[in-house]
Amino acid sequence: VLQNLSQTPVLRELLKEAKMTGTTVKIDSPDLCMLCCFSFKQEPQLIKLDQPGPLTLAMQQFVTEMQETKKGVVTPKELFAQVCKKAIRFKGYQQQDSHELLRYLLDGMRAEE
């Protein structure tokens, strides 16, 4: 899940900009094709970013490490600690479903907006 998120271009760009409070980010939507005949382009979305919370900062740090590291291994200790604060079910290193981690991670970052 974390490897996939770290390769999501829009998320990477938003997290890169999240360091700066009050930044407005423009997100261009790709062309969409409806019924293979009608294509339309949605207007770009403008998103004003607030001060990032601890989970968002930990995710930003993790994604940066994944993109820039020359080491073979990246350990998401801080990100995991922040997820555990939002969802205590992950404490104790019990086996969890990856979709649950994804849900708690994205919901937690959205709640920090």
What pLDDT does residue 44 have? 75
- Residue-range definition of the domain harbouring residue 102: 1-20+51-111
- Which residues are CB-contacts of 18 (< 8 A; sequence separation ≥ 6)? 49, 52, 56, 57, 60
- Determine how β-strand 45-48 pairs with β-strand 24-27: antiparallel
Does residue 41 lie within any of the structural domains? no
Report yes or no on 40 lying in a domain. Answer: no
Question: Is residue 36 included in any domain, yes or no?
Answer: no
List pLDDT tens digits, range 33-81: 444 555 555 677 777 777 788 999 999 999 988 888 776 788 889 999 9
Asked whether residue 32 is domain-assigned, the answer is: no
